[in-house]
C-alpha cells in the first residue's frame, strides 16, 4: 500500500468495556522518553510507528469522544496495524478477579477504574529499548534509543512529524557495528545482548502466542535477559498484568513509600504485592496513573557515565 494512502478506523470502547477511552494512559509506557523517534505527541494526537510483519506503519491516534478513539495509519503495515488496534489500546484487557483490598491500591482503582493494559505483540520493539535501559539512567537509555533508531531505522511513512523513524528490523540490529553502540554510550554487555536477541528474533516474535508467564520464562533463557528485562517486555508486548519489574532501581522504593510510608527492597515488595497476583503490574500501574505513587528522593542523582570517553 502506498505510504500516501491512509487507512482509518474508529474504535468505540462502549462496545468493549465501561468507562471512557484513554489512549494516552494505555500507550504512554510505549514511549521511550520525550525525544522518542517512534512515539510523539503533537497537539493531543499520538503518533506511533512500528514495523509489522506486513511492513512499516505510521499511525495517528486521537480520542475524538468520551468512548471513541480514531486512528489513521499509513504504510504497508497500515491494514495490519488497524486490525490490531483494539489489542493495542487494551480493549481486550481482562481485569477479572482484580479487587484490591489494600487501601491505597483500592483508592487508586476507584480513581482510575478504566485503566487498560494494551499489547503490541512486537517483541523486539519492546526488547531492544529494555536492554538499553538495563543498569543505566533513563535519560541515557532514551538518548541511546533515539540515536540508534534515527541512524538505523527508516523514515516514517505518511505525514509523520519531522524526525520520526520506523524501528530497524532484526537483521539491521544484528549488523550494527560495535563502535556505533559505543557512540550511543551503550556498553559492550548491553550491545552483545541486543545483537544476540536479534539473532533469535523470529523465535522471540512467536512468543506472543504463549501464555505470558511462559513467554517471560522463555525470554530469560537468553543471555543478558533477566527478570526485570523480561517483565518490561511482557508489559508492553503482551499487556501482561502480572509482570512485576523486580530489580528496578526505583520501583520497590515507590511501592514501599506509597503503601507503607517507607522504603523497602525487592524481596519485601514481592511479599507485599503477592496477594495481588496475577495483577501485580496492574496495581503498580494504577498507582502511577492515579497520581498516588510517592517516590521521596534521598541525595543527588547518580551521574551518567560517559562510556564514549573510555
pLDDT of residue 215: 97
Is residue 61 assigned to a domain?
Answer: yes
pLDDT of residue 110: 96
pLDDT of residue 19: 81
Residues 73, 130 within the same domain:
no
pLDDT of residue 70: 98
Is residue 110 assigned to a domain?
Answer: no
CA distance 93 to 116: 6
Local structure of 293: helix, strand or coil: coil
CA distances to 173, 197, 201, 227 from 216, in Å: 22, 14, 15, 8
Is residue 71 assigned to a domain?
Answer: yes
Mean pLDDT of all residues belonging to the chain: 94
Cell 553502540 belongs to which residue? 181
Residues 40, 83 within the same domain:
yes
Q: Which domain holds residue 130?
A: 123-226
Is residue 274 assigned to a domain?
Answer: no
Q: How many structural domains does the chain have? A: 2
Q: Considering only CA atoms, which of 219, 239, 143, 223 is closest in space to residue 184?
A: 143
CA distances to 22, 35, 239, 251, 306 from 118, in Å: 11, 22, 5, 21, 35
**Pick from 42, 77, 96: which residue ends a domain?**
96
Is residue 310 assigned to a domain?
Answer: no
Residue ranges of the chain whose pLDDT lies below 70: 1-5, 297-310
CATH number of the domain residue 61 falls in = 3.30.310.20
Residues 143, 91 within the same domain:
no
pLDDT of residue 98: 96
CATH number of the domain residue 211 falls in = 1.10.340.30
Q: Considering only CA atoms, which of 72, 75, 40, 71 is closest in space to residue 56?
A: 75
CA distance 172 to 175: 5
Tell me the pTM.
Answer: 0.93
Amino acid at each position: 500500500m502506498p505510504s500516501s494512502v491512509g487507512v482509518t478506523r474508529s474504535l468505540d470502547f462502549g462496545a468493549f468495556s465501561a468507562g471512557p477511552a484513554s489512549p494516552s494512559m494505555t500507550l504512554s509506557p510505549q514511549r521511550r522518553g520525550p525525544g522518542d523517534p517512534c512515539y510523539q505527541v503533537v497537539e493531543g494526537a499520538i503518533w506511533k510507528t512500528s514495523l509489522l510483519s506486513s511492513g512499516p506503519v505510521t499511525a495517528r491516534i486521537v480520542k475524538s469522544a468520551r468512548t471513541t478513539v480514531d486512528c489513521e495509519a499509513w504504510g504497508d503495515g497500515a491494514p495490519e496495524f488497524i486490525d490490531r488496534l483494539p489489542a493495542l489500546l487494551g480493549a481486550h484487557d481482562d481485569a477479572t478477579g482484580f479487587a484490591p483490598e489494600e487501601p491505597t491500591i483500592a483508592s487508586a482503582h476507584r480513581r482510575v477504574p478504566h485503566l487498560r493494559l494494551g499489547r503490541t505483540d512486537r517483541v523486539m520493539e519492546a526488547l531492544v529499548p529494555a536492554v538499553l535501559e538495563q543498569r543505566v539512567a533513563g535519560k541515557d537509555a532514551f538518548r541511546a534509543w533515539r540515536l540508534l533508531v534515527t541512524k538505523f531505522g527508516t523514515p516514517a511513512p505518511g505525514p509523520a512529524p519531522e524526525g520520526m523513524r520506523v524501528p530497524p528490523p532484526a537483521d539491521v540490529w544484528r549488523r550494527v557495528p560495535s563502535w556505533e553502540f559505543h557512540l550511543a554510550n551503550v556498553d559492550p554487555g548491553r550491545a552483545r545482548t541486543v545483537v544476540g536477541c536479534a539473532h533469535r528474533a523470529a523465535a522471540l516474535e512467536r512468543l506472543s502466542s504463549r501464555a505470558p508467564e511462559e513467554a517471560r520464562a522463555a525470554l530469560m533463557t537468553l543471555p543478558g535477559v533477566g527478570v526485570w528485562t523480561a517483565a518490561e517486555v511482557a508489559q508492553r508486548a503482551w499487556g501482561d498484568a502480572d509482570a512485576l519489574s523486580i530489580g528496578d532501581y526505583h520501583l520497590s522504593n515507590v511501592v514501599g513509600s506509597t503503601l507503607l510510608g517507607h522504603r523497602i527492597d525487592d524481596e519485601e515488595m514481592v511479599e507485599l504485592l503477592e496477594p495481588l497476583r496475577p495483577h501485580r503490574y496492574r496495581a503498580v500501574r494504577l498507582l502511577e496513573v492515579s497520581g498516588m505513587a510517592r517516590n521521596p528522593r534521598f541525595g543527588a542523582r547518580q551521574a551518567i557515565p560517559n562510556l564514549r570517553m573510555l
